[in-house]
Structure 1
Amino acid sequence: MKHFLELIGFLALVQGVVGLAGVFTDWHWGLVQRVGFLDGHELYASLALVVLAIALFAAAESRKPG
């Protein structure tokens, strides 16, 4: 379970960082830019993904290995 949480946290972190980069550089790559109902709210969604990743990493650290 710990490895699963770390994997999901890593994916959320990557998508959040790519989303933040897309907001500031006009890249259209990543999940946040592709979801239609997030138009105009990409910055908030990307920040939420980064916060989610931090929470998932914290949850993974509190788990036993395996």
Structure 2
Amino acid sequence: MLLVLMGLVAFSLIRGIVAFLKTTRIDLESGEAETASDMQLAQNKAMFARIKYQALAIVVVAILLAVSR
């Protein structure tokens, strides 16, 4: 379970970084600070998923520590 959650954290982090890089590239090519809202939503969605999976992983570790005592 913990390994699956760790994989999901990494996957969400990579998706968020890719969305960020795409947004930055759009900004640089257009010369404007305004980016497509779709890319911003993708960043927010990926980063929220990462936080959610990290929290679940912490809960699993806490349960494992509690059971091992």
Long gaps (5+) in structure 1: 27-38
Q: Hey, what does 1:56 align to over in structure 2?
A: 53
User: Equivalent pairs: percent with the same residue?
Assistant: 17
The one-letter amino acid of 1:18's match is: V
Q: Which is helix-richer, 1 or 2?
A: 2
Q: Hey, what does 1:19 align to over in structure 2?
A: 19
The one-letter amino acid of 2:4's match is: F
The one-letter amino acid of 2:15's match is: Q
Task: Give 1:43 deviation, angstroms.
Answer: 1.1
Query: 2:10 aligned with 1:42, yes or no?
Result: no
The one-letter amino acid of 1:50's match is: M
The one-letter amino acid of 1:20's match is: F
How many residue pairs get aligned? The number is 53
**TM-score, normalised relative to structure 1:** 0.68
Structure of greater Rg: 2
- Residues 8-32 of structure 1 show CA distances to partners (whole Å, capped at 9, x for unaligned) of 1111111111101111113xxxxxx
Secondary structure of the 1:6 match is helix
* Structure 1 segments (4+ residues) deviating >2 Å: none
